[in-house]
Structure 1
Amino acid sequence: MRWFYDFFFPVVWIVFLVYWQVMARNVKTTQRLEPAALRITRMLLFLIAIILLSYPRIPIPWLYWSFLTSSVWTFYGGAIITVGGLLFAIWARLHLGRNWSRSVTIKQDHELIVSGPYALVRHPIYTGILTGFLGTAIATTQLRGLVVLALIFIALWAKLRLEEQWMREHFGDSYGAYSRRVAALVPFIL
């Protein structure tokens, strides 16, 4: 049974990333793309996060301090939260269809999607991914999980800010009305 505890989260995240890569095909043509420096910075933050979660022997002792008591409940609770978050992100990705992009872009014939998960939050993919990392942090019960969650939040918040600016420029008042009606990441809160 120990193998399940050791491999569950890596397998879940790898399956998610492979799915994300496969689904990156068949999207609309990009008309405007964020600067390369922003994409590279975000990739570096994600790489640091992966290293922090993947290597249990980084010589920074406080990363391994517990913020929760490790138990079967934290493991399975974290697993359920992770899977739920990633499924929410997948639902949002599917609902967005050909308008999706891994970078901040404006697509040819870009559409403003406000239904499905986009009726709950303006950035449901980010909500799902952050929820996935929250679940992983709960399951690890170590501060490194919270550090990773903070790094991913910073990366996605910076992306969200640029995306919001471009959506307001591109869609004008209709995006403004949408953003007043629907929270960015957490329904009714943030």
Structure 2
Amino acid sequence: MTEARLLGLFFPVCWGIWAAIWFIASFGVKKAARHEDPWSRLSNTVPIWICAFLLVVPPSWLGPLSFRLVPQNLTFYGIGAVMTVIGLGFAIWARYHLGRNWSGVITVKQDHALIRTGPYALVRHPIYSGLILAILGAVLARGDIAALLAFAFMLYAVLRRVGIEERWMSETFDPEYADYKATTTALIPFLV
């Protein structure tokens, strides 16, 4: 197998492993007491699917969107690969700490617990933090306009979801959540 082919498999394998872990971990979660309505959910998931599409389609399909903004070389690819692995690892760590409270859609679970351990001691939304870092790594490795647009779609979806989740957690856990917000940043440790 050529080096280029091996490099081409790296990101799909990383995301495939992440997806398998996510799927297996989705069993045995608590039942939802409150969930997002279908239209709101659609407005969160469509941008994520657009992001995925823009990152997985061959650049030859994208016309002018395939214009490179970052040189295509092993240095940028390697930095992007490391960012993706760290981001996916951080998201998996967060998913582990969230345990049975996790959901693929915005929900409040029956007997929902406010998790403040592990990565939740660093940021309030570490799964999103990890996924943003992983997507940024993929964007850097790919380096074209389509990848940058993919990141914009993902960022929109994450920020929208964070807004809804913040409101719901405040309603569910106030005043404990107010204290958590006062001592922990939303997405980037020590910053935002």
TM value normalised by structure 1: 0.95
- The answer for the alignment partner of 1:158 in structure 2 is 160
- Report the equivalent of 2:17: 15
Contact 1:52–1:58, Cα closer than 8 Å, also in 2: no
Superposition CA RMSD, Å: 1.1
Structure 2: unaligned runs, 5 residues or longer: none
Mapped pair 1:69 → 2:95: no
- The equivalent of 1:58 in structure 2 is 61
CA distance in 2, matches of 1:51, 1:113: 32
- The alpha carbon displacement at 1:92 in A equals 0.2
Distance in 1 between residues matched to 2:19 and 2:148, nearest whole Å: 21
Q: Give the count of matched residue pairs.
A: 189
Greater mean alpha carbon deviation, residues 63-72 or residues 151-160: 63-72
Corresponding residue for residue 48 of structure 1? 50
Q: Distance in 1 between matches of 2:96 and 2:102?
A: 9
Is the 8 Å Cα contact of residues 74 and 139 (structure 1) preserved in structure 2?
yes
Structure-1 residue corresponding to 2:176: 174
SS at match of 2:61: coil
- Tell me the CA shift for residue 8 of structure 1: 1.1
Question: Which residue is equivalent to 1:27?
Answer: 29
Query: Could you tell me which amino acid in structure 1 is paired with residue 31 of structure 2?
Result: T
TM-score, normalized by length of structure 2?
Answer: 0.94
- Paired with 1:72 and 1:4, the residues of 2 have a C-alpha distance of 12
Report the Cα offset of residue 59 of structure 1: 4.0
Distance 2:107 2:118 in 1: 21
The question of 1:128 aligning with 2:142 is answered no
